[in-house]
Each structure stands twice: as structure tokens, then as C-alpha cells.
């Protein structure tokens, strides 16, 4: 009997809002998809202000976290800024909390708060 896995793909949408690059992710960010996020961050540029909207993300693994940290470090050293929008509850937020990344990164509850922080 053949089984089919129903694994959500990563979807990335990019836009601009008052000079801020908004990169919105939905689905799952894992080893299969980190290259797409790396490309989206590179397109925005290291000196940019970026809102990384994870409010619709269902899952993130260590490779996804590492990609976000590398993006944050590259942007910080180039004069840019990355703010993560992540719902206040759920698996993705718990992953940020349990790994200690809430201390390293600026993480807020929603896109509006991220845009205000980057204002």
C-alpha cells in the first residue's frame, strides 16, 4: 500500500511597505526550503530593513533557524535590520523561545508591530 505524505511546502511572498522589505513565509521552513529564504533575504539586500513575517509558518527546523540567524548577522554588520513577526503562541514561537533566540533576535507578535519597530 502506497502512502502519501501531506507535507506543506514553503510559500514566500515579498513586498514593500514604506521602505521596509516584507518577506512573508507560510507552510514549513526546513532543509528543503532554506535556499528559498536565503534568496529572498539576498534580494532585499543586507543593508535593508526587513520584516520577516512568520505568522503563517507552521513549522521551522534548525536549518531554518540557522538561516534566519545568518541573515540577521549579515544585515546587522552591513547596517541593516531584521525584525521577526511571529505569533505569540504555537510551535514556531516555542521553537524561538526554547532555543534562546528571543534574546538574539527582535521578535514581535505580528507584522504591524514589526513594521512599527522598523519605522
What is the structure's pLDDT at 7?
A: 67
Interval 105-111 mean pLDDT: 98
Q: Are strands 20-29 and 11-17 parallel, antiparallel or unpaired?
A: antiparallel
Give the CB-side neighbour count of residue 119, counting CA atoms within 13 A.
4
pLDDT band at 3 (very low <50, low <70, confident <90, very high): very low
pLDDT (tens digit per residue) in 46-67: 778 999 999 999 999 999 999 9
The predicted pLDDT at position 5 comes to 64
74, 45 Cβ separation under 8 angstroms:
no
Average pLDDT, the chain: 93
For the entire predicted model, the pTM comes to: 0.92
For 11-118, CATH number?
3.30.750.24
Distance CA 55, CA 69 (A): 18
Q: What ranges do the domains of the chain cover? A: 11-118
pLDDT at 88: 94
What value does the mean pLDDT take over residues 3-20?
84
Amino acid at each position: 500500500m502506497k502512502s502519501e505524505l501531506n507535507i506543506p511546502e514553503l510559500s514566500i511572498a515579498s513586498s514593500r511597505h514604506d521602505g521596509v522589505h516584507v518577506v512573508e513565509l507560510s507552510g514549513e521552513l526546513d532543509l528543503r526550503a532554506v535556499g528559498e529564504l536565503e534568496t529572498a533575504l539576498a534580494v532585499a539586500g543586507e543593508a535593508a530593513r526587513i520584516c520577516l513575517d512568520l505568522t503563517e509558518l507552521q513549522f521551522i527546523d534548525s536549518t531554518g533557524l540557522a538561516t534566519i540567524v545568518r541573515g540577521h548577522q549579515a544585515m546587522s554588520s552591513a547596517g541593516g535590520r531584521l525584525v521577526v513577526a511571529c505569533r505569540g503562541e504555537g510551535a514556531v514561537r516555542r521553537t524561538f523561545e526554547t532555543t534562546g533566540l528571543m534574546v538574539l533576535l527582535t521578535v514581535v507578535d505580528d507584522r504591524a508591530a514589526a513594521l512599527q519597530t522598523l519605522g
